């Protein structure tokens, strides 16, 4: 179902007033984690001003250490919806367990994080819901596996899937992951689904977000997901890679110009 061979036309999704795919370009921005109502609303207002079309923010966080901040859970989702009410920005947020699915009713896009790309029972269940799914590439998954994970969702009837390339594990240690730019044209060659790129998790380094965003657009990306925090130094998660609102604004100026040009 995901295969371009049988569906030559690009999938185009209408989500919360935004058009995704088919030559339209969208930026999803916001903090790694929702930390408080004030924080997420402040960041939402800033990223909207700079041209972001969606607000991101994790309420359920897949942390390496069980002692690290795990997210505000249902409280976090509530704050995201408050931020949506304030700004009108549709919400993208990660699901980690099927047990929480009911809490995601008012979310606009459900994110499946890298660590759950092959959680097949989760994918199958999301295949039965009527919501766009942002599917992130696993830390060490091939593109064939990535395509098959989309197929798992689509096989259940939900054809609203967006791929997100977020870097893969390689021997390189200077960046958090290695952004696989070739994934963009390859995914778009083999499937008709929108492909976005997350340069924040791909690099782990704020100043690499701009060049890799521009590279992703040159490779045909349908959008970007960028982490922005009002005070990165104090962030409870991924502060080291987060842009300040001012840095994000500067990146957006370049990104918007290049997206219009390509």
Contacting positions for ligand PEP (CB under 6 A): 32, 58, 62, 113-115, 136, 166, 201
Residue 184 vs 235, nearer CB to Mn ion: 235
The burial of 256, by beta-carbon neighbours within 10 Å (0-12 exposed, 13-18 middle, 19 or more buried), is given as: middle
When CB distances are held under 5 to 8 angstroms depending on the partner's kind, the choice from Mn ion, ligand PEP, none that residue 166 binds is ligand PEP
Q: How far is the CB of 149 from ligand PEP (least distance, A)?
A: 13
C-alpha distances (whole Å) from 83 to each of 53, 56, 70, 164 are 13, 10, 20, 23
When CB distances are held under 5 to 8 angstroms depending on the partner's kind, the choice from ligand PEP, Mn ion, none that residue 113 binds is ligand PEP
Q: How far is the CB of 170 from Mn ion (least distance, A)?
A: 19
What are the DSSP calls for the chain, one per residue? Answer: --BTTT--SPP-EEETTEEEBTTB-EEEEE-SB---HHHHHHHHHHHHHHT-SEEE-BSS---SSTTS----THHHHHHHHHHHHHH---EEEEE--GGGGGGGTT-SEEEE-GGGTT-HHHHHHHTTSSS-EEEEPPTT--HHHHHHHHHHHHHTT---EEEEE--B--S--SSSSB--TTHHHHHHHHB-S-EEE-HHHHH--HHHHHHHHHHHHHTT-SEEEEEB-SSGGG-SS-GGGPBPHHHHHHHHHHHHHHHHH-
Residue 64 vs 173, nearer CB to Mn ion: 64
Q: How far is the CB of 32 from ligand PEP (least distance, A)?
A: 5
Residue 20 vs 32, nearer CB to Mn ion: 32
Nearest residue to ligand PEP on Cβ basis: 113
When CB distances are held under 5 to 8 angstroms depending on the partner's kind, the choice from Mn ion, ligand PEP, none that residue 44 binds is none
When CB distances are held under 5 to 8 angstroms depending on the partner's kind, the choice from ligand PEP, Mn ion, none that residue 62 binds is ligand PEP
Q: How far is the CB of 74 from Mn ion (least distance, A)?
A: 20
Q: How far is the CB of 98 from ligand PEP (least distance, A)?
A: 17
Residue 113 vs 127, nearer CB to ligand PEP: 113
Site for Mn ion, rule CB under 5 A = 32, 238
Q: How far is the CB of 134 from Mn ion (least distance, A)?
A: 13
Residue 180 vs 238, nearer CB to Mn ion: 238
Residue 210 vs 238, nearer CB to Mn ion: 238
């Amino acid at each position: 179902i995901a295969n371009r061979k049988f569906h030559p036309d690009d999938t185009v999704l209408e989500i919360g007033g935004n058009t995704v795919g088919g030559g339209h370009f969208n930026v999803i921005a916001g903090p790694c984690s929702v930390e408080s109502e004030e924080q997420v609303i402040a960041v939402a207002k800033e990223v909207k001003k700079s041209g972001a079309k969606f607000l991101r923010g994790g309420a359920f966080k897949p942390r390496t250490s069980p002692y690290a901040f795990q997210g505000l859970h249902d409280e976090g989702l509530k704050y995201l919806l408050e931020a949506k009410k304030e700004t009108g920005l549709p919400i993208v947020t990660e699901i980690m367990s099927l047990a929480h699915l009911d809490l995601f009713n008012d979310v606009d896009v459900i994110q499946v994080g890298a660590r759950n790309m092959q959680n097949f029972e989760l994918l199958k269940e999301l295949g039965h819901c009527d919501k766009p799914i942002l599917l992130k590439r696993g830390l060490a998954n091939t593109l064939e596996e990535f395509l098959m994970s989309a197929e798992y969702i689509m096989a259940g009837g939900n054809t609203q899937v967006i791929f997100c390339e977020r870097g893969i594990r390689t021997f390189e240690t200077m960046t958090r992951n290695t952004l696989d730019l070739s994934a963009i044209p390859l995914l778009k060659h083999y499937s008709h689904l929108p492909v976005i790129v997350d340069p924040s998790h791909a690099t782990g380094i704020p100043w690499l977000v701009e060049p890799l965003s521009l590279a992703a657009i040159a490779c045909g990306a349908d959008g970007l997901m960028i982490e922005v925090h009002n005070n990165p130094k104090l962030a409870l998660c991924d502060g080291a890679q987060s842009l300040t609102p001012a840095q994000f604004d500067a990146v957006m100026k370049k990104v918007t110009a290049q997206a219009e040009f390509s």
